[in-house]
Each structure stands twice: as C-alpha cells, then as structure tokens.
Amino acid sequence: MAFDKLTEALSATFKKITKQDRISDKHLDTLLSDVRLALLDADVNTKVVNEFLTKIHDQALNQKILSSLKPNEALMKLVYDELVLLLGPETPDFDWPKGQRKIVLFVGLQGTGKTTSAAKLAKYLKEKKDRKPILVAADLARPAAIDQLEILGQQAHVDVYADKNEKNALSLVKAAMKHINGKDYDTILVDTAGRLAIDEALMQELNSIFDFLRPDEVLLTVDALSGQDVIHTADGFNKTLKLSGLIVTKFDADAKGGAVLSVKALTGVPVKLVGTGEKLDDTDIFYPDRMANRLIGMGDLMSLVEQAQSKLDVEASERSMQRMMDGIFTFDDMLEQFNQLSKMGSLQNMLKMIPGASQLAGQVNDQDSNAMIKKNRAIIYSMTKEERNDPSLLRASRKNRIAKGSGTSVTEVNRLINQFEKAKEQMRMLKRMSKQFPGLK
C-alpha cells in the first residue's frame, strides 16, 4: 500500500529522538535530512520536498523546538501540521444539503478508474450520505463501457442512464438530463470516455459536456502507479476543465505514493478520494489530517473506528476507543483488537490504523493473517487474568507455560509481549498528544 515505506521511515526518524531530552541544531539537520531522504524515496517531487523542509526547519528554530521539553513530540507536531497543509488542508465533504441537486463529472485518462470510481462514489453517497444517485454512461468510445457501468450500477443498487444507440456524448448527456428532470435523483454522476493521452478531441468533448452541465464537482482520476506523470495530467486537464478534485486510484498497488503528496502543492487541486481496491467498497475519502497522522506513524484511529462502527457493534468499538484515549491498554484490549480485526477484512490495512501496530502490518500478508491472529489469540488465551492485566508477571516459567498452552514457542510469546509493550508506549503518547492533534480526537 502506498506510503508504507514513507511511514516506516518517518516513524523511524521520530523514534531516534524519543528518548532524548534535547536536540542540537546539528541533530535537527540530520533528522531533517532523514525526512528528506524518506520523502524523495517515496517519489515526492523535489521542489515540494525542499519547500516542505525549509518551512519545517525555519519553524523548528522559531518555535524553540530544540529546547522544548519533548522535542520529538514538538517536531512530530510540526511535521504533522505541515503535512496537513501539504495534503489539504480542507477536508472534502460530500455533505451536500438535502434536496440540492449535485452533478459530478468524472474525467481521466484511459484505464485510470473513472467508471469504477463513479460507481464507488455513487454507492458511498447512497449508503452513507442518504443521497439518491444516478449514474450516466457518457463513455461512448466503446460499447463495453456502457455494459461495465450497468453492471457496477446493479451491484451498487444505483440506477444507470444509458443509450446504446446514441453516438454523441453531449447529446447523450442532454438526453440524460431531460430524463432525470422531474425525477427525485439528487446526485448525478457522469462517466466519460478516456484516452491514452490528453488530446484535442477528448478535451473538446469534455469541454462541451462541462459547459452544458456546469457540474458541482469535476473529479480527475489518476493512477497512483503513474507517479510524477500525475502532475502533468492534472495540469493538462485543469487548463480546460477547472478540476475540483483528484481521485487517486490503485493506491493499494503502489508502495510509494509520492505523487499524492506533491500534487496539491504543484497543481492546487486537492485529492478528494483514494481507490484502495477493485471492489465497490474499496474507496476512502481523503482526510488530510488522518493521512498526516498515519504518515508520522500515529495510526488512524478515526478511520478504524468508522470501519469498526460499520462492521461491528458500535458499543464495543466505542469502549475500546475510550480505553485507548484514557491510555489504558492490556492484553485483553489487544485480544479485543485481534477479535475485531479478524472481522474487518484486510488485516494489513487495519493494522496500519492502530498506533504502534504499523510495524506488525509489514510482517504479515493477508493470507498469513488469519494464522497470525489465531496464534496471537491462543497466546493471550493461555495467559491468566492477572497476567493479561500485568505483563510484568510474565517471567520465564510463565512464558514456558503459555508457549506450551498455546502451541507456540517462547520466542513467539516474547514477540507478542514486545509488540504489546510498543503499542502500549504509543497509546500513552497518543493520550498525551490527543489534545494537539485534531485528527486523533
């Protein structure tokens, strides 16, 4: 998944100063050059990296971070704030007033995910925002495009307007609006044709549709895998169409994600959605503050809780959230998390949202995940109630007993205890920092 390496490198950098009370001027330079390498390695645009670091360096000096009591937290906060600005700072909301009709136009190069994203957003708006969407199949470049949108519409339980006999995209859109007028659809999502590269004919077609529709949102889909090309594409489309946002698709397949970090700064167009898989539920609203939290290794509890709320009983997730915010974390809490995780689909994605557990994510793939969860649960189940509450009781003989009882080894027991301690440490930090980080509240 995009940003994995960057998150790892950034949290490693912050960890270097965790135990230090003061950082020197020179030390700050070393730390920032680590951050620079991590960003460049993630394919973030050089100009963006330079500006980003200059801002952080200057502010670090101004804010007397070097002499502050907890320089690591102060520096993290600074990097967090700058990341939020770099990625947003506005949070995209699709909270449109009830009864107001909204039109969303999807544009983008061939195969970047327009059709899929249109269906994903339609499903999201219908299920989460109580809208009544209709999809319009205005990609007439190939007949299969209409079938594809119709199938996706069925899967999402969203109506689709299509006309296989129409050859002109603008005429189709006009007919679609005629069909829609007087009906109670409040959100119109228009899928359009793509091309391999930006060309005159495509732009003219899109421009005529744009002029007629005057859409509320023009969303450009870009493939995360295309790296820095994203910036040229966004610029190219933006010249003619006035984009309102980007949808970065195939985020799941990209390990770097640097373009996402650069594109707002370079084009002024914010990322509003990310595609995280081929299924219709695989889409995320792009929250700059949550992403910044994740990037600095603080996890993304908000998103985790939201997913937990949609897939599990609300009470259990609220209880576990409250305990975390209170800085309480025992093996029973860890067990509860494992139980929840096993119900929530991709373990890797979930682990990344839990502060302190992101390292764990790198160690598993989703195929192994069930086995791993089973093992860890078995280890915790083999502990007594007292041991779960007080890991300091876990001496060698007890560890032996637990390993035997759970069919694992002492090394595996130790590994889990280690992970537990790390998570607990981050929970404490989270508690201290929750006041400063709006995204954590």
Ligand X SMILES: Nc1nc2c(ncn2[C@@H]2O[C@H](COP(=O)(O)OP(=O)(O)OP(=O)(O)O)[C@@H](O)[C@H]2O)c(=O)[nH]1
Residue 273 host element (H or E): strand 271-275
Minimum distance, C-beta of residue 282 to ligand X, in the bound complex (Å): 6
The partner in contact with residue 252, picked from ligand X, Mg ion, none with C-beta cut-offs of 5 to 8 angstroms by kind, is ligand X
Return the DSSP state at 272. Answer: E
Output the smallest distance, CB 112 to Mg ion, in A: 9
- Give the type of residue at 279: K
Angle (CA) 310 315 319, round 5°: 115
166 binds, among Mg ion, ligand X, none (CB under 5 to 8 A by kind): none
With beta carbons less than 8 A apart as the criterion, state whether 215 and 104 touch: yes
Q: Tell me the per-residue interface mask from 148 to 187 with ligand X, x by CB under 6 A, - otherwise.
A: ----------------------------------------
Alpha carbon distance 16, 19 (integer Å): 8
**CB-based burial, 379-407: b 16+ in 10 Å, e otherwise:** bbebbeeebbeeeeebeeeebebbbeebe
In the bound complex, what is the minimum distance in angstroms from residue 192's beta carbon to ligand X? 8
Q: What is the closest distance, in whole angstroms, from the C-beta atom of residue 118 to ligand X in the complex? A: 8
Task: Say how many residues touch Mg ion, by CB under 5 A.
Answer: 3
Which of Mg ion, ligand X, none has residue 275 at its interface (CB below 5 to 8 Å by kind)? Answer: ligand X
Secondary structure percentages of the chain, helix, strand, coil, to 5: 60, 10, 30
Closest by Cα among 95, 110, 103 to 145: 110
Instruction: Give the one residue of 51, 159, 163, 252 binding ligand X; rule: CB under 6 A.
Output: 252
**Residue 333 binding target from Mg ion, ligand X, none, CB below 5 to 8 Å by type:** none
Residue found under tokens 């007993």: 401
Least distance CB 118 / Mg ion (angstroms): 8
Instruction: Give me the residue whose beta carbon is nearest to ligand X.
Output: 275
Q: Could you tell which of ligand X, Mg ion, none binds residue 268, using a CB distance below 5 to 8 A set by kind?
A: none
Nearer to ligand X, 58 or 229 (CB): 229
253 contributes a contact to ligand X by CB under 6 A:
yes
Span 218-237, contacts to ligand X by CB under 6 A: 221
Please select the residue that binds ligand X; options are 77, 123, 131, 250, rule is CB under 6 A: 250
User: Quick one: which of 275, 288, 355, 356 contacts ligand X (CB under 6 A)?
Assistant: 275
The verdict on 307 binding Mg ion (CB under 5 A) reads no
Give the C-alpha separation, 26 to 32, whole Å: 10
User: How many CA atoms, within 13 angstroms, populate the side-chain half-sphere of residue 301?
Assistant: 22
- Which residue in 45, 72, 115, 369 binds Mg ion (CB under 5 A)? 115
CA-CA distance, 215 to 207, in Å (whole number)?
Answer: 11
Cβ proximity to ligand X, 111 vs 268, nearer residue: 111
Stretch that binds Mg ion, among 40-48, 106-114, 289-297, 360-368 (CB under 5 A): 106-114
Distance CA 411, CA 35 (A): 33
Residue 138's SS3 state is strand
- The verdict on 249 binding ligand X (CB under 6 A) reads yes
Give the C-alpha separation, 405 to 4, whole Å. 35
* 161 and 148 Cβ atoms separated by less than 8 Å: no
Single residue of 7, 13, 72, 115 touching ligand X by CB under 6 A: 115
> Hunting for tokens 């682990």 — which residue is that?
351
Paired residues of 262 in beta bridges:
none
Question: How many other C-beta atoms are found inside a 10 Å radius of the C-beta of residue 43?
Answer: 19
| Least distance in angstroms from the C-beta of 283 to ligand X | 7
The binder of ligand X chosen from 71, 88, 92, 113 (CB under 6 A): 113
Cβ 275 to ligand X, closest distance in Å? 2
Which residues of the shown chain bind ligand X in the complex (CB under 6 A)?
108, 110-116, 139, 145, 194, 221, 249-250, 252-253, 275-278, 282
